């Protein structure tokens, strides 16, 4: 996560430094201190609202060491939807309380607050109803397991049913651990969760579909292919195969393409990391791949897109090689195991 920590006072500055130390081993943490109380390891600001505005689009979480009202006013003009807003956490100047105020489930603010509080000896003040009652949260479950929430209204309705002690149905195309008490795979339920990518399966009157974000896109292209050509080709092929582009977790190709500007630009435009594989790594994968003598002679691997997808996913192909406009595309699915005990962060 990209985390921005803001402080206003001297106590706040010291607390922001301790907070950054807690989080920096697993996250990218940047500190921003009011100009009267700063240090060499922080950036300086004079106007908090302006600085937050500059950072908002590229930050996954904001931690404010200040009054709640100041933090709320800083982020309020920038807020969008529950699915897109970053986590927002407020800490008091003395470090007694860590309060998630926005995006507790989807953004991970609740779990982040718990981690900070445990490390600093503070109290995490969790206010979301499912958490305070120790109940199942569809939002938290989805985010922790890398699942795309397709319908926030359905998710809210299921959370409401949980709080009303109604049984929630569960149907999954993937292996999973034991269900929490609120869920059942048996009987008739009004509302429930379906984990899978079929648009035709709706087992319940209110069905929340959760789709795994577990596709590795194997890709190759002729030298000099533009980002626009690569992007339009990938989208067209995925649409034909019935694969939502939002499911892509990673793209993969051969290391010879490490300087391919169009490929790098395309992956950046969909916010997907691009992983590079050696020819030896690709040829080490066993399987039935569409081999090309020309590609083997040129790259050292007889197939780039299929082999890179399988190599980086550790799974199986769900889309075999398709070629168009000088672009080759394949896709493989990362194995999924649903763990109801897994935490968001």
pLDDT in tens, 199-258: 899 999 999 999 999 999 999 998 999 999 999 999 999 999 999 999 999 999 999 999
* CATH 3.40.1390.40 domain span(s) along the chain: 139-212
* Residues carrying CATH 3.40.50.11220, the chain: 2-127
Report d(CA 311, CA 315) in Å as an integer. Answer: 8
Architecture of domain 139-212: 3-Layer(aba) Sandwich (3.40)
Average of per-residue pLDDT values in the chain: 91
What tokens appear for 165 in the block?
């002690």
Do 179 and 168 meet the contact criterion of CB atoms below 8 Å apart? no
The total of other beta-carbon atoms located within 10 Å of residue 265's CB is 14
Q: What CATH number labels 215-333?
A: 3.30.420.180
In tens, the pLDDT along 15-63 reads 999 999 999 888 899 999 999 999 999 999 999 999 999 999 889 999 9
Q: Which residue has the tokens 């083997």?
A: 296
Q: State what percent of residues in the chain have pLDDT above 70.
A: 98
- The CATH-assigned architecture of domain 2-127 is 3-Layer(aba) Sandwich (3.40)
> Tell me: the pLDDT tens digits for 308-325?
999 999 999 999 999 999
22 contacts 119 by C-beta, under 8 angstroms: yes
Label residue 126 by pLDDT band (50, 70, 90): confident
Measured CA to CA in angstroms, residue 190 lies from 26, 130, 196, 323 at distances of: 40, 19, 19, 45
In the chain, residues under CATH classification 3.30.420.180 are: 215-333
């Amino acid at each position: 996560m990209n985390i921005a920590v803001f402080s206003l006072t001297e106590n706040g500055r010291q607390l922001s430094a301790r907070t950054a130390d807690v989080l920096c081993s697993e996250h990218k943490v940047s500190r921003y201190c009011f100009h009267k109380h700063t240090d060499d390891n922080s950036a300086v600001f004079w106007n908090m609202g302006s600085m937050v505005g500059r950072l908002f689009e590229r930050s996954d979480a904001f931690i404010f060491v200040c009054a709640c009202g100041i933090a709320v006013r800083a982020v309020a003009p920038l807020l969008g939807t529950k699915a897109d807003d970053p986590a927002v956490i407020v800490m008091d100047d003395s470090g007694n309380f860590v309060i998630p105020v926005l995006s507790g489930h989807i953004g991970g603010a609740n779990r982040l607050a718990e981690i900070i509080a445990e490390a600093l000896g503070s109290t995490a003040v969790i206010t979301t109803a499912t958490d305070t009652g120790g109940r199942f949260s569809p939002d938290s479950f989805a985010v922790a397991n890398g699942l795309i929430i397709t319908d926030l209204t359905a998710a809210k309705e299921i959370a409401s049913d949980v709080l009303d002690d109604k049984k929630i149905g569960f149907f999954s195309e993937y292996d999973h651990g034991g269900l929490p008490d609120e869920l059942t795979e048996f009987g008739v339920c009004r509302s429930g969760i379906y984990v899978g990518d079929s648009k035709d399966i709706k087992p319940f009157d209110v069905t929340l579909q959760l789709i795994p974000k577990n596709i590795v896109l194997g890709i190759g292209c002729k030298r000099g292919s533009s980002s626009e050509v690569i992007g339009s080709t990938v989208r067209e092929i995925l649409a034909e195969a019935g694969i939502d582009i939002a499911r892509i977790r990673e793209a993969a190709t051969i290391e010879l393409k490490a300087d391919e500007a169009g490929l790098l630009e395309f992956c950046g435009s969909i916010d997907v990391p691009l992983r590079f594989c050696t020819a030896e790594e690709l040829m080490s994968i066993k399987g039935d791949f569409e081999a090309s003598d020309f590609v083997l002679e040129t790259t050292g691997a007889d197939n780039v897109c299929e082999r890179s997808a399988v190599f980086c996913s550790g799974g199986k192909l769900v889309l075999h090689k398709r070629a168009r406009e000088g672009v080759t595309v394949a896709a493989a699915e990362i194995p999924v195991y649903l763990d109801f005990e897994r935490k968001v962060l």
